[in-house]
Amino acid sequence: MEFPTKDIINWKQMEWIVFSIRLCGIKDYGAVGLILALGEVVYNDDERTFQKWHEELKGGKSKYEKDGIKRGAWSRLRKVSFELKQISFIKIDDDTLVKCGSFQQNFRNANGKPRRSKVLMDLEKIDDELKHFIEF
């Protein structure tokens, strides 16, 4: 089966997704479902206008942001809009996870505690797992 959104989504930009998963769902039920919203995103401009506005709105930098600056962590661009193009329903089981890698090992949460690694899924390899999709 050919993935149905090749004419909508620029797969050169969107080949992989990263997500967290509780393996107990697969252990207890045999599979878990992932609902994936695909669309077009607009990011903050080079001057980070949205980010500055948001920082002012929330009363300044958080402790997490200040700690990140001290550590020399990079500041990601913020999404300012999202136009929904498709919703995909994906079944994830042990066979799916064998095809996946991992991501965000040794990352930290906002409270500074270590973050669990996440699943890294190649969208070009999920033909059997894609159960249904809705296009907008």
Q: Is the pLDDT higher at 48 or at 8?
A: 48
pLDDT tens digit sequence for 62-104? 888 888 889 888 887 888 899 999 898 988 888 887 777 777 7
Q: Which residues contact 21 (CB under 8 A, 6 or more apart)?
A: 32, 92, 97, 118, 119
What is the pLDDT, as a whole number, of residue 57?
Answer: 94
Cα–Cα distance for residue pair 22/131, rounded to 1 Å? 20
pLDDT confidence tier of residue 134, bands split at 50, 70 and 90: confident
Q: Is 122 helix (H, G, I), strand (E, B) or coil?
A: strand
What is the pLDDT, as a whole number, of residue 6?
Answer: 39
Q: Which residues contact 68 (CB under 8 A, 6 or more apart)?
A: 75
Buried (b) or exposed (e) across 114-136, using 16+ Cβ within 10 A? eeeebbebebeebeebbeeeeee
pLDDT confidence tier of residue 8, bands split at 50, 70 and 90: very low
Q: Is 113 left (phi over 0), alpha (psi -120 to 50) or beta?
A: beta
What is the pLDDT, as a whole number, of residue 9?
Answer: 40
Q: Is the pLDDT of residue 122 over 90?
A: no
Domain locations in the chain as residue ranges: 16-45+83-135
Q: Is the pLDDT higher at 30 or at 100?
A: 30
Q: What does the DSSP 8-state code read for residue 124?
A: G
Please give the share of the chain, as a percent, with pLDDT higher than 70: 84
Q: Which residues contact 6 (CB under 8 A, 6 or more apart)?
A: none
pLDDT confidence tier of residue 129, bands split at 50, 70 and 90: confident
Cα–Cα distance for residue pair 25/116, rounded to 1 Å? 16
pLDDT mean over 99-121:
77
What is the pLDDT, as a whole number, of residue 1?
Answer: 33
